[in-house]
Amino acid sequence: MTARGELLGLLQVSALGEGAEDRLNQSRDLAMAIADGMSLALSNIALREKLRSQALRDPLTGLYNRRYMEDSLERLVRLAGREKKNLSLIMIDLDHFKKLNDNHGHAMGDAVLRETAAAILGSLRESDVACRYGGEELLVILPDCTIEDAAAKAESIRERIHALSGHHGTSISASFGVSSMPLITSQMTDLIATADAALYAAKKNGRNCVVLAEVKKVKAPVQQAVSDESAEATAPAAELIQLVAAE
């Protein structure tokens, strides 16, 4: 069975007993029609799956693309909030990637990106989602994962990426920013922003390292005694408490 010049399979028709050859000859046209129909159906299924993959995945690395990442992260954040579970995010950026392209060519840069993607996928669970966020920046979503476990996972990936240096004969490394909910934030946009801020801190700290997002400290409201005999002091005190708590 073939379609669009591609071999898709084999349809075998057989007959037994007396007059088997004659029966096979009589059914030849029907068998050919069935084979043609099945070939077209299989080809359409394969084409649909290919188009679906192209719509969801980055063609170079094979990781999910940014659009899929945003849809998945929004769904997983809602799920984690509803089930009161942890959700962690790892932001990854290859160090000095422009310099790598300039010195060794884009072909090598593409190879490093593909091998980096493979190193990331080799460290993840089936439930984790790895995406190409843009350029040399990658992102990993870790459902039901604490920030401590995410940091350990990031360190494992960092070591795998750094090990690519020996294969290519040049220094290859990446910086990592890790954030988590509900410890750091409960909002999807803040989860990405805090992971990105931690990644920027990793760059400032010399690159090739893992930095965790800072836990925001909530200021306690100022307690101010209000005299029962002074009703006029009540309103200013309440305003002071609201302003300090909102900072």
Helices 97-104 and 106-121: angle between axes, nearest 10 degrees: 130
- pLDDT band of residue 26 (cuts 50, 70, 90) is confident
Phi-psi domain of 24 (left: phi exceeds 0; alpha: psi -120 through 50; beta: other): alpha
Instruction: Provide Rg for the chain, Cα atoms.
Output: 29
Q: Which two tokens stand for residue 77?
A: 């954040």
What is the average pLDDT value for the chain, to the nearest integer?
A: 83
Q: Which two tokens stand for residue 109?
A: 């840069």
Check residue 51 and give its pLDDT.
Answer: 62
Q: Which two tokens stand for residue 132?
A: 């190409």
**Structural domain boundaries of the chain?**
2-56, 66-212
User: In angstroms, how far is CA 49 from the centroid of its own chain?
Assistant: 20
Check residue 245 and give its pLDDT.
Answer: 32
User: In angstroms, how far is CA 150 from the centroid of its own chain?
Assistant: 13
Catalytic pick among 126, 136, 137, 239:
136
pLDDT at position 211 over 90: yes
Q: What percent of the chain has pLDDT over 90?
A: 57
Check residue 167 and give its pLDDT.
Answer: 87
The beta-strand segments (E) located in the chain are 2-3, 6-7, 87-94, 129-134, 137-143, 174-181, 210-212
Q: Where does residue 229 rank: exposed (0-12), middle (13-18), buried (19+ CB within 10 A)?
A: exposed
pLDDT at position 126 over 60: yes
CATH superfamily of 66-212: Reverse transcriptase/Diguanylate cyclase domain (3.30.70.270)
Residues in the chain: 247
DSSP 233: G
- pLDDT band of residue 52 (cuts 50, 70, 90) is low
Closest residue by Cα to residue 91 from 54, 66, 55, 58: 66
pLDDT at position 4 over 60: yes
pLDDT at position 192 over 60: yes
Check residue 16 and give its pLDDT.
Answer: 85
Closest residue by Cα to residue 187 from 74, 84, 90, 85: 74
Element (H, E) at 200: helix 188-204
- pLDDT band of residue 234 (cuts 50, 70, 90) is very low
- pLDDT band of residue 233 (cuts 50, 70, 90) is very low
CA distance 235 to 62: 61
Element (H, E) at 177: strand 174-181
pLDDT at position 8 over 80: no
Check residue 49 and give its pLDDT.
Answer: 66
**Cβ atoms 8, 45 nearer than 8 A:** no
Q: Which two tokens stand for residue 37?
A: 């129909």
Task: Give mean pLDDT, residues 25-29.
Answer: 83
pLDDT at position 121 over 80: yes
CA distance 233 to 231: 5
pLDDT at position 93 over 50: yes
Residue 136 annotated to the active site: yes
Task: Give mean pLDDT, residues 126-134.
Answer: 94
CA distance 203 to 174: 9
Check residue 225 and give its pLDDT.
Answer: 42
pLDDT at position 132 over 60: yes
Residues 145-176 pLDDT 10s: 999 999 999 999 999 999 999 888 899 999 99
- pLDDT band of residue 102 (cuts 50, 70, 90) is very high
| CB atoms closer than 10 angstroms to residue 107 | 9
